[in-house]
Amino acid sequence: MARFIKPNGLHRRLEGWPLVFTVLVTISILVGGLVEYLPMVLIDDSVQRIESVRPFTPLELAGRDIYIREGCNNCHSQTVRPFRHELERYGEYTKAGETVYERPFLWGSKRTGPDLYRVGGKYPHLWHVRHMEDPRSTSPRSIMPPYPWLLEKPLKLDDLPRKLRVLQRLGTPYSEVEIAQAVDDARRQAREIAAEVEAQGGPAGLADREIVALVAYLQRLGTDIRTAETAPAPSAPAPSGPAPSAPAPSGPALAAGE
């Protein structure tokens, strides 16, 4: 070591060889990447699948892209940590297997607003419509921006087949039929949501507005494992991987962080 770093040592020589120096730097920065990240990226089984977790429907996907466009992730996280206070506030903590269709992941880094991972089913559709139009109408002192244009802008669905196709290429299991019928399917789901909003006493004619897609997405969030829990047959999340239980990400669910 001393030989290496002394004023006229080996390192001094290295400083005269930019090429060698650059190669060594490259190796140094690649080691961590290769050991720590690459296994996760290459080994598909490193994330245990959960059978009840399904890809987003076309309309939910459109809503998700609106969520991304509006940058909701800058204020809302989408990942519940395994602490008692978070389980009480938000619900079950997020499992790796639930995230496999999240392209991109939207876990966020800041909770200016509450976590949304389990918001699906928490409120009626109409609540979300009112809240997005004017957050102060449902949460009096809210600091969330209003998004009234979501109730006005026409919902664009024509690019859905292409979106599903790209996701299919990347590994999301959309069938050919689903891709071919993506637009019709989205329209049907949009009509259902709009009808329910109207039935709850909300504004009519939202079926072709962006807001229905966003509501569809929000109502889907975090519900896949709930469906599994209420379903009669196999008990709770049935992982297809080798291990019998869903991966507990970071230690025991209830103990940490108190």
Helix (H, G, I), strand (E, B) or coil at 197: helix
Indicate the residue among 89 and 176 with the shorter CB distance to another protein.
89
Q: Minimum CB separation from another protein for residue 40, in Å?
A: 5
Cα distance between residue 205 and residue 86, in whole Å: 37
Indicate the residue among 74 and 175 with the shorter CB distance to ligand HEM.
74
Cα distance between residue 213 and residue 139, in whole Å: 22
Q: Are 96 and 58 in contact (CB under 8 A)?
A: no
Site string for ligand HEM, 94-113 (x = CB under 6 A): ---------------xx-x-
Per CB under 6 A, residues contacting ligand HEC are: 67, 70, 72, 74-76, 112-114, 116, 119, 122, 135, 139, 142-145, 147, 214, 218
Q: Does 255 bind another protein (CB under 8 A)?
A: no
Q: Minimum CB separation from another protein for residue 203, in Å?
A: 19
Listed ranges 95-103, 175-183, 187-195, 209-217: which one lies at the site for another protein (CB under 8 A)? 95-103
Helix (H, G, I), strand (E, B) or coil at 246: coil
Q: Does 122 bind another protein (CB under 8 A)?
A: no
Nearest one of 188, 220, 205 to 64, comparing CA atoms: 220
Listed ranges 79-87, 187-195, 208-216, 224-232: which one lies at the site for another protein (CB under 8 A)? 79-87
Structural tokens at position 74: 């800058």
User: Which residue matches tokens 């690019």?
Assistant: 159
List CB contacts of 6: < 8 A, sequence separation 6 or more: none
Indicate the residue among 166 and 180 with the shorter CB distance to another protein.
166
Tally Cβ neighbours within 10 Å of residue 95.
Answer: 21
List CB contacts of 255: < 8 A, sequence separation 6 or more: none
Distance of CA 190 to the CA centre of its chain: 21
Q: Minimum CB separation from ligand HEM for residue 75, in Å?
A: 7
Indicate the residue among 31 and 204 with the shorter CB distance to another protein.
31
Q: Minimum CB separation from another protein for residue 63, in Å?
A: 14
Q: Does 105 bind another protein (CB under 8 A)?
A: yes
